[in-house]
Amino acid sequence: MYMTDYEFLSNYHMDRSYIMQLNSLVEDDEAFQRVYGKVGRRSSMFHIMVLLKFLGSYRKAAAFQRIGHVMGISKVSVNCY
């Protein structure tokens, strides 16, 4: 899912470069490495974006169903991230 800089800033209230810096701190962690023969994991960037969307949401917007809809994943998957 691609967003313009304006859309990104309005959704995450952070500049894209800050999230890239945050991602660089965790992207090489073993939790995000692919395992041969298993279904590929989502990228570390996707995990960070789901987490930030959850932390930046208020009341009903913080519901797993709404975050899942915005991120294009199921509400059950939001809980896994």
pLDDT tens-digit series, residues 19-66 = 889 889 988 888 777 766 666 566 888 888 878 777 776 666 567 777
Do the beta carbons of residue 57 and residue 66 sit within 8 Å? yes
Tokens coding 32: 């995000």
Interatomic CA distance for residues 63 and 18, integer angstroms? 25
Residue 35, pLDDT score? 66
Residue ranges of the domains in the chain? 5-28+43-80
CA distances 49 to 23, 36, 73, Å, are 9, 25, 12
